[in-house]
Amino acid sequence: MATASDIEKAAEVLRTGGLVALPTETVYGLGANAEDPAAVTRIFQVKGRPPSHPLIVHISGAEHLDDWVEEVPATARLLAEHFWPGPLTLVLRRGRRVPLEATGGLETVAVRVPDHPVALALLSAFGGGVTAPSANRFGSVSPTTADHVRAELGDAVDFVLDGGSCGVGVESTIVDVTGETPSILRPGGVTRENLEAVLGCPIEVPSTSHVRVPGQHPSHYAPRARVVLVEPEKVVAEAGHAQEQGHQVGVFLPPAFADAPVKAHAVVALPESMDAYARELYGFLRELDQQGCDLIVASLPTEKGLGLAIANRLRRAAGPRSSE
């Protein structure tokens, strides 16, 4: 686990234009000084990320939000008050401190305050904003441990802060608050129901948006194995058929079918709790890759609570190859 000395060393790496992998409650991020265009550009190079794909600026507290954006609407302040620190990202008009390299050329910027003691200690020691997309190659499975980062990015990262396993396990919810009504651009660790309870009104989750945000590429969060999505009651039969066709099949077995016999190379018995499923989702995908699966059969959970975020990640992992 990261020590005070580790945190100070990481802060110095950021000050000198380096990259730091840092834990958050959602996933591990690949961090750079948000005000250093060259350091921000290096994030894109290391990840193989398109430069038009915007990054999230992480700050140490809601009291610093005005430093990074042009204006803060009342809705944004309300959401920040209720959900920061936490897995909520707000899209606002870009302030002068944010270079266009960090926003993918957009005049909006995504900002959040992470809910992890190591991340907050780093942000405080550094004294500025840190751009930090997930610390993995673009489009692949997000890392939820320091070992995941080291295995995927290796020496491309200047320093890795180990904060243990991530407690939420899926990325933050991204909410656009630049218009008259807020909308969810990416489901995540703060649920739609949580947001609606605070706002006192329904909140839309549009299938497309003119605002580009992280994690919404048609194929994203993807393991090496091909992901196929089917109805829950068809998971066992689909897995058996694919295994008979010569595939090395991995199965995400829904709790309702936990006792069903499955013909597959590897089986992951899914937890009943959506919190636990979200926390373990990326680990499950990595596990099946490591076991040599070339095809993963899964179904979408009910899209309530964190089920909405899990379903979003599975659809992106399947990409245009999904059977749905």
Contact 179, 158 (CB under 8 A): no
Edge-first strand order for the sheet with 226-229 is 226-229, 295-298, 249-253, 266-269
For residue 206, what pLDDT is reported? 85
Select from 169, 163, 161, 128 the least CA-distant residue to 39: 128
pLDDT beneath 70: ranges in the chain: 207-219, 320-324
For residue 323, what pLDDT is reported? 39
pTM of the model: 0.94
Cα 195–Cα 199–Cα 202 angle in degrees, nearest 5: 75
In this structure, which amino acid lies at residue 297? V
pLDDT in tens, 286-310: 999 999 999 999 999 999 999 999 9
For residue 216, what pLDDT is reported? 55
